Structure 1
Amino acid sequence: MEKNPKIVVIGVNHAGTTALKAIMKTNPNAHVVAYDRNDNISFLGCGIALWVGREFNDSKGLFYADKEKLTKLGVKVNLNHEMISYNGKAKTIKIKNMKTNEIITETYDKLILGIGSWPILNPGGKEIPGLIAHKDGVIVKDELNGVKLTNGIHLSKLYQHAQAIIAHLSKPEVKKVVVIGAGYIGIELVEAFYKDKKQVTLIDFENRIMPRYYDEEFTTDVETTMKKAGIALQLGETLLEFITKNDKVLQVKTNKGTYDADLVIMAVGFLPNTTVVKDESGKPQITLDARGAIEVDQYFQTSDPNIYAIGDCINIRSNAWNRNVNIALATNAVRTGLVAGINVTKTNPKERLVFPGVQGTNAISVFGWKLCATGLSELSAGAILGKDKIEAYFYKDTVFPPFMAENHEVKIKIIWEKSSRRIIGAEIGSTHDHSETISMFSLAILKQVTIDEIPLIDMYFLPHFNKPYNFVTAAALLATGVLTKEDVTYPDPYTPGKKK
């Protein structure tokens, strides 16, 4: 590449911000221009529920970068500017200034797309009556969301969404909240509204919460605690309609009931925000997968070698699935931005950084439970790879020897492939934090460690931290059948809630 290449980055959040920093650190002479349709960058959307739940009052901590910092690195940052089309052959893009509506043509040598994902508004491909505001039979447009939602219905992704939720929640008439979607965002917001002493109903078409992340042995614990807290779990119900009056939501209707609502959260998932890469006929100009995510290689190049793609808008190599898949996580976005930012200025293939893939490692802390997982759950692995091709072992134990005054329980499940014996997933749950252990399993999946090797990993023992056979070693030994439960279990009179 020439000494002073012009690189245009579209989207300046987790992936884009990291890519920009990587470009400027590895090639300070690069001519870099960035555009984002929002008026802020680097917002930690995972902190919305904490903010709504009044865990803190100053939202400044939810941002870790700003326009000024990137400008000092040499990046020309343009906020409130949206990419509306591009021409790969001419290497040009059309950019709209969202404040003035002026449209400009930008040129590039290399283009990095960090265009992200957007909340699903039509679950199952069905339009939901009452969700989108209409005036005289015409959909009302909205600069933030594209379309205006009926008053009282909110999305949860952007800083502005959080502001709107908090402002609405502060109104004294808001007493009943309905959350649609029992994934991470939905569950975290349910807890936030509960802490704010609201009457909360959770609706999902699945029969249990977080079914794609955790197996039933873990989700049942959280569901039980939620029910005790008074949360109405309306699971196994399909959203049909929002009942409204004067452009204000009043009720949420499913196939099994109707629920009063003063405030509604629409949190049924996300899809890659890739409409902009399609031409006027709707044909993609770069290769997309069935979900609409951009296909990339191990360097994050798309089917157009002059265009890279990063973050939530791409499919990414999963070492558990053993193929590319769309996994929208901020941690993944940061890593993709780093690799693409380094590679975009490299002309010698030998100098390029190869992306090793991800495991989809994640965690959640809600209603007193701390769950973490990596790779595939047993249910997901069975559906993806085939039930007859995988094995799993679930184990529950106390963490410390019985003579320790403080103790608690921990649950673990390990999932592996029958033929290769390689680890493809793990889940851990407790009322205490054991999330660091899941990082070990993430590395195990990356390095194709087998279930037979887990008991041989050099893990320390000290009563302050664990047992001679800690819960990981014990689970693996029992899974392989090398020892029995009688062999690995420390005689344990521990009773929850009691000190010895």
Structure 2
Amino acid sequence: MKVAVIGCTHAGTFSAQEILTQHPDAQVTVYERNDNLSFLSCGIALWVGNNVSDPKKMFYSSPEALTKLGATMKMEHDVTDVDLDQKTVTATNLKTGETKTEAFDKIVITTGSKPVVPNLPGIHGDKVYQCKNWNDANRIKEASEKISSAVVIGAGYIGAEIAEQLSLINKEVTLIDGLDRVLANNFDQKVTDRIEDEYRNHGVKLALGEMVKSFNEENDQVTVETDKGSYTADIAVLAIGFLPRTDLFTDKLDMLPNGAIITNEYMETSKKDVFAAGDASSVFYNPTGKADYIPLATNAVRQGILVGNNIEKPTVKYLGTQATSAVELYGYALAASGLNAMGAKKRGVEIEEVSIEPDYRPDFMPTTTKVLCTLVWDPTNRQVLGGSFMAKHDISQAANVISLAIQSKMTIDDLAMVDFFFQPNFDQPINYIGAVASAACAKSSSK
């Protein structure tokens, strides 16, 4: 069995590993345009803020490791054409210029995502930085040691973290976003209002509800013009978002409108013997029961493993995702899983929600702190659809509990009666997850 794996960040790395582990006799060829693989780009902001012990540890695999497993590694090879009917891959060696076409039995598309880079004047200037791969990380890190100011465009997870870390190393920071809140797609306003206060307390200028119009470099600085203002700094960092890198497969496979390749529960595409995984593909979003685009490393890893499980025949089904995630900003842990009010509205889903803010452990303990808890559910069948938590205490694992509840189709009544332990060092007699579920039951029953 000859298998081509096109792209090798998270989904590609785990696809290759799992195929070779389960099928040692398989001939796996990996094509990757960069000279590295498996880079954990979610660590870029931490590295900028000097919170990484060793940048080399931001990689969990290597070309040598996959070669040792039995893969043929074609690093720095740009795939220029894929014939899905004939199952051939054409790639150019970026070092030698040689182009070669090879035939395979199976093709795995793990081409990942590309940063959103709007067609704006000056956006490709030397002072405008992208935030995606290892080369981007090096550029930003080197710049961060020389600059005194930065404009960050995009207040999602990546932009929010970059802005926070730059402010913590005493840079003058402006954070711009077209939406009217920081992390607007990730958390409700009760959470984002508090985080915005923290940005302001740390000197970050928030330019929210503003659309960038142009970039102009002059006097060794860059000025970012928006529809409402003008912001000048030493560099600008783009963190607007990502799109699937699937241009090679347009009109060849079933896709979502944004280009994400649609797969079935075995990671198979609409073309026989062609698989897709990671940021190049859609996911099955359990809170809505529909295909969605949610580019997260956790999704890519699981999908890559499933490619290995199913490469020979359909064997293990995809369980879907809840888009569970977390971030730490200014000492606050923020964690969420599933739908929030904004996400539900965008997807046309009717929800009910409730919020409470108990102490995470008893008041007789020397210290405690409050946890802002929000639970979202379906008002028709009472199934849990989402939840979020925010505290100075590490409450991140609560999001995993909500993820499991959504995946298992638990109701708010089920969640309220889950056997959570009690120990005063850790929580209350009624754990805050059970408490917010009980509050949901009370609110639902009162209607």
How does the TM-score come out when normalised to structure 1? 0.87
Alignment match of 1:323 (pick from 279, 282, 290): 290
Indicate if the aligned counterparts of 2:127 and 2:217 stay in contact, CA closer than 8 A.
Answer: no
Correspondence for 2:20: 24
In structure 2, distance between residues paired with 1:239 and 1:418: 39
Partners of 2:208 and 2:224 in 1: CA distance = 14
TM-score (normalised: structure 2): 0.97
Paired residues in the alignment total 445
Residue identity opposite 1:156 in structure 2: C
For 1:249 and 1:423, the matched residues in 2 are separated by 49
Residue 240 (structure 2) aligned to one of 247, 250, 268: 268
- 2:120 matched residue in structure 1: 128
Please tell me whether the aligned partners of residues 38 and 60 of structure 2 are also in contact (alpha carbons under 8 angstroms): yes
Matching residue's letter, 2:399: I
Report the equivalent of 2:175: 202
| Aligned twin of 2:139 | 164
Q: Which residue of 1 aligns with 2:338?
A: 375
Partner of 1:345: 312
After TM superposition, give the deviation of residue 240 of structure 1 in Å. Answer: 0.6
SS of residue matched to 2:385: strand
User: For 1:115 and 1:179, how far apart are their aligned partners in 2?
Assistant: 26
Equivalent residue number for residue 181 of structure 1? 154
Contact 2:351-2:378 at 8 Å conserved across structures: yes
Report the equivalent of 1:91.
87
Does the 8 A contact of 1:113 with 1:308 survive in 2? yes
Specify the alignment match of 2:265 in structure 1.
298
Amino acid at match of 1:448: K
Give the letter aligned to residue 15 of structure 2. A
Partner of 1:359: 322
Match of 2:430 in 1: 469
1:177–1:261 contact (8 Å) kept in structure 2:
yes
- Which amino acid in the other structure matches residue 216 of structure 1? Q
TM-fit CA distance, 1:306? 1.4
Distance 2:400 2:33 in 1: 34
Give how far 1:245 is off. Answer: 3.8
Letter in 2 for 1:58: D
The one-letter code matched in structure 2 to 1:345 is E
User: Over aligned residue pairs, what C-alpha RMSD do you find?
Assistant: 1.5
Counterpart mapping for 1:46-65 below 5 A: 46-56=42-52, 58-65=54-61
Match in the other structure for 2:380: 419
- Which residue among 70, 74, 87 is the counterpart of 1:74? 70
Mapped contact 1:153–1:249 kept (Cα < 8 A): no
Other-structure match for 2:354: 393
> Displacement of 1:300 after TM fit?
0.7
Other-structure match for 2:391: 430
Larger Rg: 1
Q: Distance in 1 between matches of 2:343 and 2:83?
A: 39
Give me the identity figure in percent: 36
The offset of 1:106, in angstroms, is 1.4
- How far apart, in 1, do the equivalents of 2:425 and 2:145 lie? 45
- The one-letter code sitting in structure 1 at the alignment partner of 2:63 is K
- Which of residues 171, 186, 192 in structure 1 aligns to 2:165? 192
Q: Any idea what SS the aligned residue of 2:5 has?
A: strand
Counterpart for residue 212 of structure 2 = 239
Q: 1:313 is matched by which residue type in structure 2?
A: A
Task: Measure the CA separation in 1 of the matches of 2:88 and 2:356.
Answer: 56
Deviation at 1:342, TM superposition (A): 1.4
CA displacement 1:157-211 (0-9 Å, x = unmatched): 111101111222223xx22200000000001101121122110000001100111
Q: What's the counterpart of residue 404 of structure 2? A: 443
Distance in 2 (alpha carbons) for counterparts of 1:378 and 1:107: 48
- The amino acid that maps onto 1:129 is P
User: CA offsets per residue over residues 428-484 of structure 1, 9 Å max, x none?
Assistant: 000111111211110110010001111111111121211112212221112211899
Mapping of 1:25-40 within 5 angstroms?
A: 25-40=21-36
> 1:216-249 CA distances to partner (integer Å, 9 max, x unpaired)?
1111111111101110001011101111249x65
Secondary structure of the 1:481 match is helix
* Partners of 2:379 and 2:164 in 1: CA distance: 38
State whether residues 293 and 315 of structure 1, in contact with CA within 8 Å, keep that contact through their aligned partners in structure 2. yes
